[in-house]
Amino acid sequence: MDRTQLTTSADLTREEVDFLMEEAEKMRGKNTDDLKGKVVATLFLEPSTRTRLSFETASHRLGASVITIADPKTSSVAKGEILADTIRTVEKYADIIVMRHPEVGSAEEAIKYTKKPFLNAGDGANQHPTQSLLDIYTIKRESGGIDGKTIAFIGDLKYGRTVHSLTYILCLYNPTKIIFISPNELKVPEKYIKMLEEKGIKHEETASLEEKMPEIDVIYMTRIQRERFESDDEYNKLKGSYVLTPEIVKMGKESLRILHPLPRVDEITPDVDDMPQSACFRQAENGVYMRMALLKNLSANYYK
């Protein structure tokens, strides 16, 4: 792997994903000095808990220091600073930049202004590539692999950037089938369906969850992305569309695994958390190891 920047899952290769999963596995429980003397900037211009804190934990565990904008209200972005100026400045301070931004395409825009290691931590409803890498790593660990598995995305497949990024990565493997379960208004964008058609990966779109439960190996549950809706009325019509309860989980295979990028609102009831099928918090933990693998390797490729 020779990349130094990651803005989308669309240009990841199977070799890179396999390599990063091996690297993440090696990071479990480790503290290293791979990034000793380096400064990592985490610019979060949209809310975050797991992504920012796991990137920062990963940085500390690799021996780096961290500078952060955790709230756009406290930065010059609130004074109307354009992205180009923010990036041109931060790249003078930090050795590695991690950015989350509300606008689609902002990560591509940002890398016009820096050659330094850069990681997209979410650009609007578009992409969240580091999440999809920790997701695929979690599927591999929890279900023993990706090939031959039936994976179901449930919820807001229109605005859920984690769904979009993971769909790209699944296309590098040979899943048996991908099932997209959503209300009609929140279907996955057509370009992802076209891509699955081109790659010859079996897929299906439906609104009904329960009848699909017996064939699913991995559920990828998502939150309805309230902040992306034009109005609260529209959101209120669709909230609560799907709720996973122990009763529904029991309709599935015993080996079923449930992933969720979190935050959860009401789409998985808390009594599912103690079932062995629920992998959400193990998934969150895996985020630290995958981000350690990414920070270490993107940095090593740049600072040779």
The residue ranges that bind ligand NCD (CB under 6 A) are 50-51, 122, 128, 131, 161-162, 223, 225, 261-263
What tokens does 222 get? Answer: 């998502």
Sheet with 39-44, side-by-side order of all strands: 5-6, 118-123, 96-101, 39-44, 65-69
Q: Which residue is nearest to ligand NCD (CB)?
A: 261
Helix (H) or strand (E) holding 258: strand 257-259
| Dist. CA 142–CA 167, nearest whole Å | 18
| Dist. CA 135–CA 261, nearest whole Å | 8
Nearer to ligand NCD, 107 or 177 (CB): 107
Nearer to ligand NCD, 122 or 252 (CB): 122
Nearer to ligand NCD, 6 or 38 (CB): 6
Nearest approach in angstroms of CB 8 to ligand NCD is 14
Task: Name the burial class of residue 137, with classes exposed (0-12), middle (13-18) and buried (19+) by CB atoms within 10 angstroms of its CB.
Answer: buried
| Dist. CA 254–CA 70, nearest whole Å | 40
Nearer to ligand NCD, 46 or 91 (CB): 46
Q: Are 161 and 127 in contact (CB under 8 A)?
A: yes
Nearer to ligand NCD, 113 or 293 (CB): 293
Helix (H) or strand (E) holding 225: none
| Dist. CA 4–CA 300, nearest whole Å | 8
Query: What amino acid is encoded at 82 in this protein?
Result: I
| Dist. CA 80–CA 98, nearest whole Å | 20
Nearest approach in angstroms of CB 235 to ligand NCD is 13
Query: What amino acid is encoded at 50 in this protein?
Result: R
| Dist. CA 40–CA 259, nearest whole Å | 28
Nearer to ligand NCD, 38 or 161 (CB): 161
Nearest approach in angstroms of CB 132 to ligand NCD is 10
Q: Is the dihedral of CA 38, 61, 122, 21 positive or negative?
A: positive
30: number of Cβ within 10 Å: 11
Nearest approach in angstroms of CB 222 to ligand NCD is 6
Nearer to ligand NCD, 95 or 186 (CB): 186
The phi, psi pair for 237, rounded to 5°, reads -65, -30
Nearest approach in angstroms of CB 223 to ligand NCD is 4
Nearest approach in angstroms of CB 165 to ligand NCD is 9
Nearest approach in angstroms of CB 143 to ligand NCD is 20
Nearest approach in angstroms of CB 25 to ligand NCD is 21
Nearer to ligand NCD, 151 or 262 (CB): 262
